[in-house]
C-alpha cells in the first residue's frame, strides 16, 4: 500500500475505532508526515518496502538530532511509527511488522510541578480581578472546576451543561471516550452556579445555541487554547513565578488529595488513569513533603 494511503487508514482507525482525541490524532499525523517524507527521501513510497533496518535508522537519526528532542517527543514519534506498522500487519495489509525490535527511549522520570494550597487560592482569587464581570465569573468557574476535579483541560472544555445535571458530581469523558463521575466541591459548585445564572446566559446570546458548558466572549464553545490563556492571565495577576498550565491544576489536585490522606487508587479513579503506576508518581511528591516534616520535627533527624 502507498504510504500516504496507509497513514490515512491508520489515522481513521485510531480516530474512529479507538476514539483517540483530535489533539492526539493531529500529533500522530504530524509525526507520520515526517516519517513518510524521510522514507520518500530514500526512495521508499510503499509500506511493503519498509524494513527493520530503515526503521532503526530513522529512529537513530531522530534521536541524534540537534537540538536533542525531548524523550517524551521521541517516544511519541516511535509510538506513531510502531502503531502504523502494527496496524498494517494486523489488518493483513503487510505480512510483517518491521518495528518489532524497536525499543522506545527511556523517558526521564520527572516529578509533576504542583502549586501550594496558598498559591492555588491566589490563582483562583485572581480570576475575580478585572472590569468584565461576565468573563470573570466564567474564568472563576473554569479554574474552580479544573482544581476541584483534576480533569484535563480538554475534558473540561468538552463538557455540556447536562454533564452537571446531578449537581454535586460531573460526568467527564476521558481518553478513549471513557466516562467517569467526579465529585464537585462546594466552592466549585458555587462558582458554577454564579456562572450559569449570571454569565453564561449573556455569553450564549452573543453566539449560536450550543450545549457546551463554557463559552467564549462571542458565545462560541471555549477552546483549549483560550482556557490555557485564562490560566496564564490569572497566574500573571496572582504574581505566581512558577510556570502554571492547565496540567498544573491537575497535578495540584492529585498532590493535595494524597497529602490529605486519600488512597492512591481513589486518586487513580478520579484522574482517569488506566494504571495505578501512572498515579503513583504523585506519591513521590507526598513523600518529599513527609521527609521535610520529619527533618524539621524529629529530635534526632538532623
Is 284 a catalytic site residue?
A: no
Of the candidates 138, 189, 250, 251, the residue annotated as catalytic is 250
Higher-pLDDT residue of 76 and 292 is 76
Which cell numbers in the block locate residue 82?
Answer: 510502531
Q: In CATH, what number is assigned to the domain containing residue 49? A: 1.10.150.130
Percent of the chain with pLDDT over 90: 48
83 and 180 fall within a common domain? no
Q: How confident is the model at residue 13 (pLDDT cuts 50, 70, 90)?
A: very high
Q: Tell me what the mean pLDDT of segment 46-67 comes to.
A: 89
Q: Would you put residue 180 in left (φ > 0), alpha (ψ -120 to 50) or beta?
A: beta
Residue 258 pLDDT greater than 60, yes or no = yes
Handedness of CA 48, 53, 56, 60 (dihedral sign): negative
pLDDT computed for residue 244 by the predictor: 87
Is 250 a catalytic site residue?
A: yes
Number of domains the chain contains: 2
| Those residues with Cβ within 8 angstroms of residue 224's Cβ, 6 or more apart along the chain or in another chain | 23, 153, 154, 157, 246
pLDDT computed for residue 226 by the predictor: 93
pLDDT in tens, 193-246: 999 999 999 999 998 999 999 999 999 999 999 999 999 999 999 999 778 888
pLDDT in tens, 293-302: 556 666 665 5
225 and 172 fall within a common domain? yes
Is 45 a catalytic site residue?
A: no
Of the candidates 62, 85, 152, 189, the residue annotated as catalytic is 152
149 and 284 fall within a common domain? yes
Count Cα neighbours of 226 within 13 Å in the Cβ-side half-sphere: 17
Strands 179-183 and 169-173, sheet pairing: antiparallel
pLDDT computed for residue 127 by the predictor: 85
On whether residue 143 sits in a domain, the answer given is yes
Residue 79 pLDDT greater than 80, yes or no = yes
Of the candidates 175, 224, 233, 237, the residue annotated as catalytic is 175
Percent of the chain with pLDDT over 70: 86
Residue 289 pLDDT greater than 60, yes or no = no
Residue 190 pLDDT greater than 90, yes or no = yes
On whether residue 111 sits in a domain, the answer given is no
169 and 280 fall within a common domain? yes
Residue 139 pLDDT greater than 90, yes or no = yes
On whether residue 172 sits in a domain, the answer given is yes
Q: Tell me what the mean pLDDT of segment 128-138 comes to.
A: 80
On whether residue 131 sits in a domain, the answer given is yes
Residue 102 pLDDT greater than 60, yes or no = yes
Is 247 a catalytic site residue?
A: yes
Is 273 a catalytic site residue?
A: yes
Amino acid at each position: 500500500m502507498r504510504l500516504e494511503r496507509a497513514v490515512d487508514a491508520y489515522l481513521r482507525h485510531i480516530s474512529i475505532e479507538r476514539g483517540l482525541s483530535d489533539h492526539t490524532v493531529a500529533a500522530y499525523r504530524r509525526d507520520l508526515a515526517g516519517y513518510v517524507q524521510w522514507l520518500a527521501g530514500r526512495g521508499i513510497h510503499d509500506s511493503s518496502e519498509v524494513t527493520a533496518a530503515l526503521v532503526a535508522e530513522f529512529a537513530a537519526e531522530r534521536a541524534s538530532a540537534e537540538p536533542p528532542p525531548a524523550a517524551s517527543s521521541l517516544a511519541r514519534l516511535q509510538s506513531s511509527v510502531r502503531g502504523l506498522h502494527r496496524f498494517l500487519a494486523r489488518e493483513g495489509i503487510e505480512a510483517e511488522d518491521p518495528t518489532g525490535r524497536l525499543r522506545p527511549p527511556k523517558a526521564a522520570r520527572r516529578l509533576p510541578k504542583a502549586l501550594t494550597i496558598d498559591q492555588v487560592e491566589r490563582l483562583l482569587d485572581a480570576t475575580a480581578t478585572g472590569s468584565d464581570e461576565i468573563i470573570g465569573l466564567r474564568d472563576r468557574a473554569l479554574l474552580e472546576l479544573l482544581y476541584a476535579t483534576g480533569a484535563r483541560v480538554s475534558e473540561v472544555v468538552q463538557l455540556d451543561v447536562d454533564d452537571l445535571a446531578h449537581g454535586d458530581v460531573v460526568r467527564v469523558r476521558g481518553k478513549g471516550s471513557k466516562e467517569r463521575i467526579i465529585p464537585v466541591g462546594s466552592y466549585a459548585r458555587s462558582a458554577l452556579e454564579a456562572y450559569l445564572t449570571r454569565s453564561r446566559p449573556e455569553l450564549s446570546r452573543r453566539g449560536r445555541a450550543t450545549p457546551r458548558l463554557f463559552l467564549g466572549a462571542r458565545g462560541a464553545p471555549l477552546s483549549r487554547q483560550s482556557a490555557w490563556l485564562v490560566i496564564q492571565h490569572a497566574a500573571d495577576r496572582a504574581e505566581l513565578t512558577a510556570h502554571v498550565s492547565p496540567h498544573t491544576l491537575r497535578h495540584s489536585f492529585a498532590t493535595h488529595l494524597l497529602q490529605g490522606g486519600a488512597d492512591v487508587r481513589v486518586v487513580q479513579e478520579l484522574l482517569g488513569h488506566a494504571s495505578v503506576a501512572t498515579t503513583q508518581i504523585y506519591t513521590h511528591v507526598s513523600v518529599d513533603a513527609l521527609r521535610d516534616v520529619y527533618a524539621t520535627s524529629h529530635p534526632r533527624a538532623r
